[in-house]
Amino acid sequence: MLIVQKFGGTSVGDLERIESVAKRISKTVAKGHKVIAVVSAMSGETNKLVGYAEHFSDNPVREEMDMLLSSGERVSASLLSIALNEMGLKATSMTGRRAGIVTDSFHTKARIENIDPTSMQNAIDSGNIVVVAGFQGVSEDGLVTTLGRGGSDLSAVAIAGALKADLCEIYTDVDGIYTTDPRIEPDAKKIDKISYDEMLELASLGAKVLQTRSVEMAKKLNVNLVTRSSFSDAEGTLITKEEDIMEQALVSGIALDKNQARVSMRGVKDRPGIASDIFNALAKSNINVDMIIQTVGHDGETNLGFTVPKTEMSDAQAIVQTFIDNNEVQEAEYDSDICKVSVVGVGMKSHTGVAAKAFSTMADENINIMMISTSEIKVSMIIQEKYAELAVRSLHGVYELDK
């Protein structure tokens, strides 16, 4: 098999850890596999470099930031290659440029445009372990670019896609994705297999483990993604195509998003185009609207509610106020003490009653549901924030995720 193994900052956090990463790679090679390792900078390194730049400027030249930040990954890539060579293995390290990773010119947040895998393929074919510096590429005009913070996951997935690798393993300090946050529910279980779409819906559970962008890319490129710990041999969580998961769970996990705030508008002029006006105004200000509900209008007026990230609440408030000032909305109420609890599972597509069960669970706990939204594989409820943990634990139990 051809396996891409990506090691994050903590996994290459010091020289001893780089040594154990080298040992892990050598074990994989000993099993007859070919390995491309993708590495992050040693933990704390990128922040340190950002700090250096900030010593000189509040707004450092972006092209130079990319020159600077990309160096952290070069350090860990070359050190890992040196360690592998010392163990008698053939290894060669590559910058983004040598690995053929071409991006756009959006410095410090570049997007990968294409990968020319020739150099990587040639090196593999001549028996090398290839060690790629993650998080970086090169623009059409030959300048170094970086992919945005946390971007080495993306490098790994894109490389796995370009080389049609059998597996892309993301090594971090946690051993996989759990059915819910184990700090809230100690009985949360590690998930063995989950589909791309479920993983995207459970983003809050994977937030510390995997970038959403890299799950999206894995889905697009059909990359089998595994998240696992570099500190143990425990098997991680496989994120893959829905069709490839034999035993589909009815519900795979319970996600919690505390970064939610609610706007409820009353006496909204019930005329064609009002929703378009309000939500376009919000979109223009880059406000991320999540849930929306509109009630049945009467007497030419209706009620309209929506949620936004807590951090964008005051911006949203300013915009809603302009509609109040124009007499298009009578009044609005703002509530930041809310959260979103979501039940996620592909099994919902073929089973009825999953949503009803979620609602009765809230009823049994005497928790009021303020808003509901559903998709094929998700039921989300907005509730008061003080009930967040209780709701998560109850739902986790009701769907027997602890079994």
**Residues forming the site for Mg ion (CB under 5 A):** 8, 150
Q: How does 82-101 read in b/e, with b if 16+ C-beta sit within 10 Å?
A: ebbeeeebebbbbbbbbbbb
Classify 189 as helix, strand or coil. Answer: coil
First to last CA, the chain: 33
Cβ proximity to Mg ion, 79 vs 278, nearer residue:
79
Among 46, 81, 95, 229, binds ligand ASP (CB under 6 A): 46
40 binds ligand ASP (CB under 6 A): yes
Q: Edge-to-edge, what's the strand order for the sheet holding 301-308?
A: 292-294, 301-308, 253-269, 329-344, 378-384, 371-375
41 binds ligand ASP (CB under 6 A): yes
* Sign of the four-CA dihedral 377, 379, 385, 386: negative
Q: Which stretch binds ligand ASP (CB under 6 A): 40-48, 202-210, 245-253, 308-316?
A: 40-48
**Partner from Mg ion, ligand ASP, none binding residue 41, C-beta < 5-8 Å depending on class:** ligand ASP
Cβ proximity to Mg ion, 100 vs 150, nearer residue:
150
Cβ proximity to ligand ASP, 72 vs 161, nearer residue:
72
d(CA 129, CA 2): 11
Nearest distance in Å: CB 344, ligand ASP: 26
Do the beta carbons of residue 304 and residue 214 sit within 8 Å?
A: no
d(CA 341, CA 383): 8
d(CA 251, CA 351): 10
Cβ proximity to ligand ASP, 46 vs 394, nearer residue:
46
Nearest distance in Å: CB 40, Mg ion: 6
Nearest distance in Å: CB 161, ligand ASP: 17
Residues 142-181: x where in contact with ligand ASP by CB under 6 A, - otherwise, as a string: -------xxxx-----------------------------
Q: Which residues does 110 contact at the CB level (< 8 Å), separation at least 6?
A: 66, 103, 104, 137, 139, 145, 146, 147, 148
Q: Which residues does 243 contact at the CB level (< 8 Å), separation at least 6?
A: none
Residues 299-338: x where in contact with ligand ASP by CB under 6 A, - otherwise, as a string: ----------------------------------------
Q: Which residues bind ligand ASP (CB under 6 A)?
A: 9, 40-41, 46, 72, 134-135, 149-152
